[in-house]
Structure 1
Amino acid sequence: MSLYHCTIAQDRDQRQVIVHWDDHDPNRHIVAPVSVAADTLDEAKLTDLVSSMGFRIASTDSDNIGRGWAIVARIQTDRPFYNPLDQGWYAYLQDDVKSAIADKWPGARVPGVN
């Protein structure tokens, strides 16, 4: 849970950019969606948008805009792990916290929990 999915969704003539903590459910997001005019969204604008959300693009070897998603990581590297239970950021998540996340959201992808 230190790398996160950023979705670039089409909304008429706008694009919504949002970061999710669960790869399996786009409604489980970390930040509120940011809308931008579709014709202004390029890789540089995407980099600026995710930076303003506190993230950096980690998937730089391909066309993130064309794919409609990007892999991002938190800029503040000393606390890269997100806990959706309390919405806090941590240096690591203990096993009991991971289990509690998996218990609350049984379909969620929680690394370290089978």
Structure 2
Amino acid sequence: MEIKAGSYEDLKAAKETVETGWQIVPGKGSTEFGVAACGAAITRAILRDEKRAMPCSALLTGQYGQEGVFASTLCVIGRDGAEEVWQLPLNQEEEEVLVRSCEIIRRFVKEH
């Protein structure tokens, strides 16, 4: 996969993500266990039909004015996966970042 440079804001966000990961490593020794723990929690919520509210990527169907794109938001997880996608109140800056993120996701999917 070819990695293409995005806007300054995209590169800044990517850099901050990497730096945050490196801040976790000294305390925990690694970061992969957090990802595995989240995957296990989502799997458990599905298998046990827990109807548990948790952050998860789900198909947006009008939430935040977005449709047809998967993005991370608060969902109710149960037997059928993301059974409800909740729309949380966002300030203007947060909404702009979300819209920009959805545009980046759409562009990436279209190109690949």
* TM more than 0.5: no
Q: Give the TM-score normalised by structure 2.
A: 0.23
Q: Kindly indicate whether structure 1 or structure 2 has the higher relative contact order, using CA contacts under 8 Å at least 6 residues apart.
A: 1
Larger radius of gyration: 2
Q: Give the TM-score normalised by structure 1.
A: 0.23
**Structure showing the higher helix proportion among its residues:** 2
**Structure showing the higher strand proportion among its residues:** 1
